[in-house]
Every structure is written in structure tokens, then in C-alpha cells.
Amino acid sequence: MSDRGAGPSTAAVPIPRPQRYDFDAIVVGAGPAGSAAALELARAGRSVALLERGPFPGSKNVYGGVVYGRVLDGLIPGWQQEMPVQRWVTRRQTMVLSGARSLTVDFRNENWGRAPHNGATTHRAEFDPWLAEHAQRAGAVLVPSTVVVALLRTADGAVHGVRTDRPDGDLTARVVLACDGVNSFLAKQAGLLGGDQASHTTLGVKETLALPRGVIDERFGVTGSGGVDVEMLGCTGKVPGGGFLYTNAESVSIGLVLGLRGLARAKVRPEHLLAELKRHPSIAPLVRGGELVEYSAHLIPEGGYRTMPPLIADGLLLAGDAAGMCLAAGIWLEGVNFALGSGMCAGRAAATALATGDTSAAGLAGYRSALRSSFVLADHERLRDAPGLVLSERMQQRYPGLLCDFAESVFAVDNPRPKPGFRALLRRAAKRNGVRMRDLAKDALTGLRTFG
């Protein structure tokens, strides 16, 4: 893991209800969720501390590389002119790999290279400080190199601050926003996150490979500031998961997302699977000669809506990955936009609760309704079955082969034999891959219900 230190281990610290508070709000974690929340609170005129364990925001954070930033329209007007962008995504692909074969759905739209844009590749070490700076300019106090090790709670269980790893490092506030990412220690201490997390957590591993700009342009068929986002299925061996490949200005990011349990069962190392992916005939020409400049790994909460913890307690809100809000639905691997959206809702709900003087769970309940009326919970709720479907045995182990077999038989010219019909080809591909037509129809229906 690239996150610093082992993290907090102590239980919540009991305190008497403070007579006065150091801050109105404390936000833990200066990732996209935390900075968005702090920005909203500061804009509402609230005193807010933004605590970050890294030496600067984004210093240790890992992700694939694409931000779908339209959610920023409501947070930083004009963000498209000032965000530190590597490339604007003008081409999106979903690729299914099976053995040495691949089948790709390739969509390009040059309009995405112009405002309002669809998505951009950006480095977290540039994106996170940019966002945190907006929060600071609005009045939030950023405190880096500071690990929050415990929640401070009054006798009635309400959260009223945090303990940090600094000497005399207790800070009190009327409300705490836990934006401390996947495996949130704060959510655990508050009793909101428990159970079998390993079954719905994946490990993301990523390599950044330096390549000259012109080489990337040529290989990926883009020009200027245009870039490509490729999501992959069928590239993780026996481990449930998927892959990604994104273009930056002068590097590409390639990685895998691997189910923790499957990884342990398969007894295979992630870097070996990644090396295999880079050798695949459809991928090797794209990454050839790339110089490894970074290897990183991080956990991802992939359970979606069905595994989300409660989002609110007395004096406490969870946002972003801490609340399990990463969307992992095959064609989509998005977490930053959900972190931004939930951070904004959390910041606004906390500001409203502070204004009414009620930061109990009831006073903070506006958070949930705001999330529900935004894409954050709406998408998660509608796509609640997607993680199960995408990570299912058939989807992972059988459909990549079935689709490649089907494509192969459609594209192969087998004269002098007459061409068989698509239905016959599909039936044959299904049989070869051990899929009953009944299950195929059932999964297609579930897929339609889930994504439709």
C-alpha cells in the first residue's frame, strides 16, 4: 500500500461535552471527498480544519487516472480552464480479452476534447492539491502530515472531535466528516463499518510507463490534448476483477483491479498478472518501450450500494470511499466523481446542521436526502446489482471466451462452407464455454434490469 503508516488503532476516546470548540467542523482526509466537503463548509462561513496524513494532499493517493469532472460544475465554476489536466478523454473503449484474442467496443468523440468535456486524465499529486487549495482559499485550515488516530466522543456517544498523532493533538468540533478513504478507521471506530469487508474489497495495482507524447498519439490514434480510457475484462486469470489503461500526456497508466479473496485463493501475485496483461498481443504494442516510473497499489471498496455502511451518526458523516461510494460496474470504474459529489453533499448538510444548532444524526439527516436526489445514491442504488454481476463466475470466466469465440466465428471466412446464422454461432460459442442458453438469457435480463 502506498498510504503512510499503519493508521489509527485505538478505540474512540471518551471526553466531556466541550464548553467551546476548536472548529465548527473537522474533515479527516484531503482526498476529493474531504476537500470538496471542506470547501463547502468554508464557503458557508464555517471554521473547518482539513486534516491529511500525507505531507501534502494527493502525495500518497492511488487511482487509475480518469476524473469525470462534470460534478465540479457546482463546486468550482470554470474548473475546466484551471484543473491540472493530462489529457481530455476523447476515446473510450471496453475490451474483452480471452487467451490471445480480444474484442473491443471503441467509441470516440472529438467533441469531448472541447468544453464541456466528458473526462480527463490527471495525476492525483496534482489534482488533490489543486482541489485542497480551493478549500484553503475559501478559509479551510489544511493540516498536513497529521494522522487522525481516534474519534473523541461524549458520554452519550456523540462525536465531538478527533485525536491526532501530534503532541497535544486533540481537536474538538461540533461535527466530524470522515473522508479517510477505503477501510476508514473512523467509520470502524464509530461502529459504522464492520463485517466481511474482504469479500467486497479489491486490490488495485498500477504501473505508470513513460512514453514520448508523439508515440502515445500515434499508438492510440489521438492528437493534441485528446486521450484514451480503456476498461478491460478477462485479463485477471482466475481472480475476479478487471483492468484499465489510460493515456497521460507523456505516460500511460496500466493496472488491474483484483478481488481480495480471489487473489488469496489463486495464490498469484498481482504484479505477475499485470506483467501477463502487458504481454497480451492487443496490449503489448501499446505499452512497448514504456519506462516504468511508478508502481503503486491501493484498496478499492467495490461492493456498491448493498455494502454501504450507515452514512450518519451523532456528530459524524461519512463520504467518498469511507462510505463505500466507489462505483465498480464493468464499463465504469469511477470513484473520484462520487467522492466529490458525496463530499459536497456532506459539507452542505453539515453546514445546514451547524446553522440550526443540531449536529445529531437527526440534524444531519439532510445528507442522505441530498445524496438520494443527486447522482451519488441514485446511480449506486440503480446499479446495486452491477458489482455482483460483473464479478460473477460466468461474467469473469466464461463470457470473455464466449464473446471472443462468437466474434471469431462471425469474422472468420470459412468458404466454401456457407455462413451459419448468428444464433447458431452464439449457441456454439455458449456451448464451448460451458454456458447454458438459459443462463445466458437470465444474465442478459439481469444486465438489462441492472443497466437499463
Q: Please name the amino acid found at residue 250.
A: E
Residue closer to ligand FAD by CB (options 52, 443) is 52
Cβ neighbours for 281, distance < 8 A, ≥ 6 positions apart: 100, 102
Q: Please name the amino acid found at residue 159.
A: V
Minimum CB distance to ligand FAD, residue 317 (Å): 12
Residue closer to ligand FAD by CB (options 58, 290) is 58
Minimum CB distance to ligand FAD, residue 246 (Å): 7
Minimum CB distance to ligand FAD, residue 298 (Å): 4
Residues near ligand FAD (CB under 6 A) are 3, 7-8, 28-34, 51-54, 60-67, 147-148, 179-181, 185, 204, 206, 255, 298, 300, 320-322, 326, 333-337, 339
Minimum CB distance to ligand FAD, residue 348 (Å): 16
Nearest residue (beta carbon) to ligand FAD: 335
Minimum CB distance to ligand FAD, residue 402 (Å): 27
CA distance 252 to 256: 14
Report how far apart, in Å, the C-alpha atoms of 335 and of each of 117, 180, 241, 392 are: 18, 14, 16, 21
Which residue in 63, 69, 61, 73 sits closest to 89, CA to CA?
Answer: 69
Residue closer to ligand FAD by CB (options 246, 406) is 246
Residue closer to ligand FAD by CB (options 147, 277) is 147
Cβ neighbours for 398, distance < 8 A, ≥ 6 positions apart: 433, 434, 435
Minimum CB distance to ligand FAD, residue 436 (Å): 34
Minimum CB distance to ligand FAD, residue 42 (Å): 17
Q: Residues 51, 53, 58, CA angle at the centre, nearest 5°? A: 95
Minimum CB distance to ligand FAD, residue 143 (Å): 9
